[in-house]
């Protein structure tokens, strides 16, 4: 399927329009929910860390440090990708699946169009912008942690910022974005596959969306495990 | 003209088309009739290359479709129009964009040439005031007109219609049937229509083939279908009360 997606391309002009539409649907359309979730979960991470710091020997700087680590390493790239498997993934499966059951894909094929290229390629390209979404999520997650920690009275702004800069390892950023990039590919292709190759009617479109969510999440979690094993240990 | 030679197609263990041989003539409305599930849609889609036949040949004016590579198949596809059962309009595009789509894909026309051609076929199928509406905003009958317009916009030599009047009221169905017949004669197209509707047979059946469980059980024309003593055909033809009553009335006259 992947190979077929990249050969016999559609006309460039048409493809460009399709790519912009996908960026709008998949990337711009996700910013709101991502911003909302990141900010508040970042806050919760800070509060949880603060509440568990009962031992006076451990410095308050740990709140900033722990928030940064968890947001950048796991929360933004992995946790949000699983949420996106629900949002973006089921959108992709149901829109392609609906085109399958209403014979719109057949209509494309009759016109000599490579429908995999027409439908899936623009989604893969659009999802290349997904790491930007995750960058925003990282920023807002840490901002949320700062707001919750400082304005919640758990730590001072200075302590938080010191913790934030403590023991910073640049490779962690590389690791986070590398896996985000791989997840974005999974997020575009697995749901497309489930939509494209389905058969049946409206009920099956619903079932395909659910199945696609499950498999995309599983793929993300397993990939995450192996990447972490390979790069960080 | 389209010739079909020993066409077979199955899915897994189930053989759906069991060796079909027939010819569809140019400038005529060729009807494929048969009960639901008899293989009509699979037949059409196998001719179009949407399903790859297990064996057999499809000849488009003498050229065998399945022998060609992708690029040459494209030359034939360019000359094919297809009206799908549920219209299969692209639901994110307006009526005008839907109809213009094959031109954008197949031709190098300029925008205003495409618009002109689009408006010509829009007039031809009597679609008024719908250019900028979405498919979901127009009635089923109008969607069918859009689907026909999209199928003929690029001057096809071959037109395929899968149950073009399913889901329409009897009056609209007749109008659509006649529209297809007129277009066929006007542009001298080889038209193939799937239907299980005897009204269409009465209205536009020039050449008729009857499919029964993937076999070609009978072929002939409109006048012959009411005279044949092929039992499978008569069972199909006289399955509705209306046609039974017509037969009774005729027999009474004799
Ligand atoms: N993609 C497919 N995979 C498996 N079986 C199919 C497929 N498409 C159609 N069939 C089977 O082929 C038979 C004929 O279907 P079809 O051509 O749609 O009938 P109809 O005459 O009503 O158009 C049916 O039994 C159907 O279940
Ligand atoms: Mg059918």
Q: What is the ipTM of this complex?
A: 0.91
Closest CA relative to residue A224, chosen from A190, A173, A186, A169:
A186
Joined together, the tokens standing for residue A128 give: 């290349």
φ, ψ of residue B220 in degrees (nearest 5): 175, -160
Confidence bin at B226 (pLDDT 50/70/90): confident
B10 CA from centroid of ligand 1 (Å): 9
Q: For residues B192 and B142, is the Cβ–Cβ distance under 8 A?
A: no
Confidence bin at A228 (pLDDT 50/70/90): very high
pLDDT of residue B245: 79
φ, ψ of residue A152 in degrees (nearest 5): -85, -5
Question: How would DSSP label each residue in B223-237?
Answer: HHHTT---HHHHHHH
**pLDDT > 90? residue A48:** yes
Joined together, the tokens standing for residue B253 give: 């006259």
Superfamily of segment(s) B2-228: P-loop containing nucleotide triphosphate hydrolases (3.40.50.300)
**Is the CB–ligand 1 distance for residue B170 below 6 Å?**
no
B11 CA from centroid of ligand 1 (Å): 9
Model pTM score: 0.91
C-alpha separations of B242 from A99, B16, B199, B206, B254 in Å: 37, 31, 10, 21, 19
Mean residue pLDDT of chain A comes to 94
Give the Cβ contact number of residue A190 at 10 Å. Answer: 24
**Which ligand 1 atom is nearest residue B12's CA?**
4
pLDDT of residue B121: 93
Nearest CA in chain A to B74: A112
Q: For residues A26 and A126, is the Cβ–Cβ distance under 8 A?
A: yes
**Is the CB–ligand 1 distance for residue B195 below 6 Å?**
no
Cross-chain Cβ contact B88/A103 below 8 Å: yes
- Average the pLDDT over A71-91 and give the result: 95
C-alpha separations of B199 from A116, B176, B213, B218 in Å: 39, 12, 22, 18
CA distance B203 to B42: 24
Per-residue pLDDT tens digits for B169-211 = 888 899 999 999 999 999 999 999 999 888 888 889 889 999 9
CA distance B145 to A85: 39
**pLDDT > 70? residue B105:** yes
CA distance B196 to B39: 12
Per-residue pLDDT tens digits for B123-165 = 989 888 899 999 999 999 999 999 999 999 999 999 999 999 8
Question: For A99, which DSSP code?
Answer: H
Q: Which helix (H) or strand (E) holds A32?
A: helix A29-52
Confidence bin at B234 (pLDDT 50/70/90): confident
Residues in chain A with CB shorter than 8 Å from the CB of B46 are none
Per-residue pLDDT tens digits for A173-218 = 999 999 999 999 999 999 999 999 999 999 999 999 999 999 999 9
Alpha carbon nearest to ligand 1 atom 27, residue: B37
pLDDT of residue A102: 95
Q: Where are the domains of chain B?
A: 2-228
pLDDT of residue B254: 66
Q: Which residue has the tokens 């059409």?
A: B44
Mean residue pLDDT of chain B comes to 90
**Which ligand 1 atom is nearest residue B39's CA?**
17
Please enumerate, as own/partner, the contacts of B211-214 that have beta carbons within 8 Å and a separation of 24 or more. B211/B20, B211/B32, B211/B33, B211/B34, B211/B38, B211/B39, B211/B40, B211/B43, B212/B34, B212/B35, B212/B38, B213/B18, B213/B38, B213/B39, B214/B15, B214/B16, B214/B17, B214/B18, B214/B20, B214/B38, B214/B39
- Average the pLDDT over A157-183 and give the result: 93
Per-residue pLDDT tens digits for A27-41 = 999 999 999 999 999
Joined together, the tokens standing for residue A222 give: 């397993």
**pLDDT > 90? residue A55:** no
CA distance A218 to A224: 10
A62 CA from centroid of ligand 2 (Å): 67
**Is the CB–ligand 1 distance for residue B117 below 6 Å?**
no
Of the residues B48, B82, B162, the best mutation for testing chain A's interface (the one with the most A CB atoms within 10 Å of its CB) is B82
**pLDDT > 90? residue B247:** no
A17 interfacial to chain B (CB closer than 8 Å): no
């Amino acid at each position: 399927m992947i190979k077929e997606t990249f050969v016999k391309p559609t006309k460039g002009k048409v493809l460009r329009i399709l790519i912009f539409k996908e960026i709008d649907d998949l990337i711009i359309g996700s910013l709101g929910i991502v911003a909302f979730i990141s900010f508040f979960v970042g806050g919760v991470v800070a509060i949880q860390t603060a509440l568990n710091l009962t031992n006076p020997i451990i410095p308050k700087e740990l709140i900033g440090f722990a928030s940064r680590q968890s947001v950048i390493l796991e929360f933004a790239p992995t946790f949000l990708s699983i949420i996106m498997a629900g949002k973006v993934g089921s959108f992709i499966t149901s829109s392609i699946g609906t085109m399958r059951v209403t014979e719109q894909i057949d209509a494309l094929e009759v016109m000599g169009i490579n429908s995999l290229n027409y439908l899936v390629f623009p989604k893969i390209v659009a999802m290349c912008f997904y790491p930007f979404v995750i960058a925003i999520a990282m920023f807002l997650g840490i901002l949320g942690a700062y707001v919750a920690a400082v304005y919640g009275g758990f730590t001072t702004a200075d302590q938080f910022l010191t913790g934030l800069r403590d023991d910073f390892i640049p490779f962690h950023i590389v690791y986070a974005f590398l896996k985000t990039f791989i997840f974005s590919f999974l997020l575009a292709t697995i749901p497309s596959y489930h939509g494209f190759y389905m058969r049946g009617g409206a009920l099956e479109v619903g079932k395909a969306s659910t199945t696609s969510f499950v498999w995309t999440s599983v793929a993300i979690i397993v990939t995450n495990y192996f990447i972490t094993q390979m790069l960080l240990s | 003209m389209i010739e079909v030679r020993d066409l077979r197609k199955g899915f897994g263990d189930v053989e759906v088309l069991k060796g079909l041989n027939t010819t569809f003539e140019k400038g005529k409305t060729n009807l494929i009739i048969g009960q639901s599930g008899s293989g009509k849609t699979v037949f059409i889609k196998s001719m179009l290359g949407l399903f790859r036949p297990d064996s057999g040949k499809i000849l488009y004016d003498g050229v065998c479709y399945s022998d060609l590579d992708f690029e040459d198949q494209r030359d034939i596809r360019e000359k094919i129009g297809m009206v799908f059962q549920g219209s299969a309009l692209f639901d994110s595009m307006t009526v005008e964009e839907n109809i213009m789509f094959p031109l954008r894909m197949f031709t190098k026309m300029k925008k205003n040439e495409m618009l002109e051609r689009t408006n010509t076929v829009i007039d031809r199928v009597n679609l008024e005031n719908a250019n900028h509406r979405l498919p979901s905003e127009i009635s089923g009958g109008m969607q069918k007109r859009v689907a026909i317009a999209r199928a003929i916009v690029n001057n096809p030599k071959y037109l395929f219609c899968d149950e073009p009047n399913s889901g329409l009221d009897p009056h609209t169905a007749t109008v659509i049937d006649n529209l297809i017949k007129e277009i066929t004669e006007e542009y001298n197209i080889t038209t193939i229509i799937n239907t299980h509707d005897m009204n269409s047979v009465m209205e536009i059946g020039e050449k008729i083939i009857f499919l029964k469980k993937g076999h070609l059980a009978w072929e002939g024309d409109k006048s012959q279908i009411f005279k044949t003593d092929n039992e499978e055909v008569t069972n199909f033809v006289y399955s509705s009360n209306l046609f039974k009553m017509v037969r009774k009335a005729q027999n009474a006259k004799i």
